[in-house]
Amino acid sequence: MNGDHSGQTVLVTGGTGYLAGWVIAGLLQRDYRVRTTVRDLDKAAQVRAAVSEQAGAGAARAVEFAAVDLLRDDGWDEAVAGTDYVLHTASPMPFGSGVDLITTAREGTRRVLGAAARAGVRRAVLTSSGVTADPGDPDTPATEAAWTVPSGTPLRAYPDSKILAERDAWGLAAATGLELTAVLPTFMQGPMLGTSRPGTVDIIRRLLTGKIPAIPNIGWNVVDVRDIAELHILAMTSPAAAGQRYLGAGNFVWYRDIAAILREQLPEDAAKVPTRAMPDILVTLLARWNPQMAMLRPELGRVRLVDSGKARTQLGWHPRPTEQTIIDTATALITESRQGLAA
């Protein structure tokens, strides 16, 4: 896996993030020099411990850190100075973040990519989202040619933040000459590095712990976080990727199918996984006061079609089977729980 990249430096934003940890580990395994951003330098030890699980302690010790904030101008030019590539993976997440999702995503993108343009980096890669490529027709597969129209509604603030931030990114690239590529992941699952606690894996955690009494009629295009990290690195270096968008999607899977996979493959640990279906009307009622249910309500019974053939053919990207991702996620959560009980 190692390559002759020891003289090249990559800045990865949001070093404590779920995706960023896997990106950093993948870069270190290929002998890139890595610098990453955190809001607090006290997080450096946490990041090093996380990536050392995959890249080794020696490589992790070499990671550089820059303390910056997506909502402040200070420090971004210094963070980018001397780097060859910038991978902008940092983005605010919904529920409990306590921040203005749209403002933070848009201003952060402007600051990071603006600094990258001023520094003359070879290429910047933006972590966007599959929600930015919705064709608007449930029978038409999403492709990179589609551009989602923002909803402008508070309940869709997170999707809107990704849509608007990517639009801003392409506008900035056109105005400055920055070479840009965007990666559009769908619903990421997969094992966590270190103490990262991504909200997305909560769908499997809640099944395993019996936190939901019944399973709503919803599903996702599940993709492995490790495969999306790989897609970022491919997008960073491939000549074909300049100025392109790439959907990183796995197979569509219903929540009830995830539950069935857990019960079949991990029967002892999945004893609390529910078998009952949650009526759509109950989701609709709960959506009146539960923000998470309100976000789920439009997805009831909807199968999202996503075509990630462009990444496969142009970049040689090969995501792992969805069932493997689900089991690996569950296994990581089970291991974490057991270690917590042992402590």
Pick the more confident residue, 268 or 200. Answer: 268
Assess whether pLDDT exceeds 70 at residue 108. yes
Q: Name residue, tokens 């491919």.
A: 234
Q: 222-263: per-residue pLDDT in tens?
A: 999 999 999 999 999 999 999 999 999 999 999 999 999 999
Top-ranked range on mean pLDDT: pick from 4-13, 25-34, 278-287: 25-34
CATH fold of the domain at 9-191+220-252+303-320: Rossmann fold (3.40.50)
3-state secondary structure of 87: strand
**Catalytic (active-site) positions:** 162
- Buried b / exposed e along 174-209 (16+ C-beta atoms within 10 A): eeeebbbbbbbbbbbbbbbbeebebebbebbbebbe
Which of 321, 307, 185, 196 minimizes the C-alpha distance to 261? 321
What is the pLDDT of the chain when averaged over all its residues?
Answer: 92
- Number of helices (H) and strands (E), helices first, in the chain? 13, 10
Q: What confidence score (pLDDT) does residue 1 get?
A: 46
Q: How confident is the model at residue 97 (pLDDT cuts 50, 70, 90)?
A: low
Give the pLDDT mean for 40-53.
95
Q: What confidence score (pLDDT) does residue 196 get?
A: 63
Bridge-partner residues for 57, per DSSP? none
Give the pLDDT mean for 311-328.
97
Helices (H), 40-156: 44-55, 57-61, 76-80, 101-119
Q: 178-195: per-residue pLDDT in tens?
A: 999 999 999 999 999 986
3-state secondary structure of 128: coil
Assess whether pLDDT exceeds 80 at residue 291. no
Map out the domains of the chain as residue ranges: 9-191+220-252+303-320
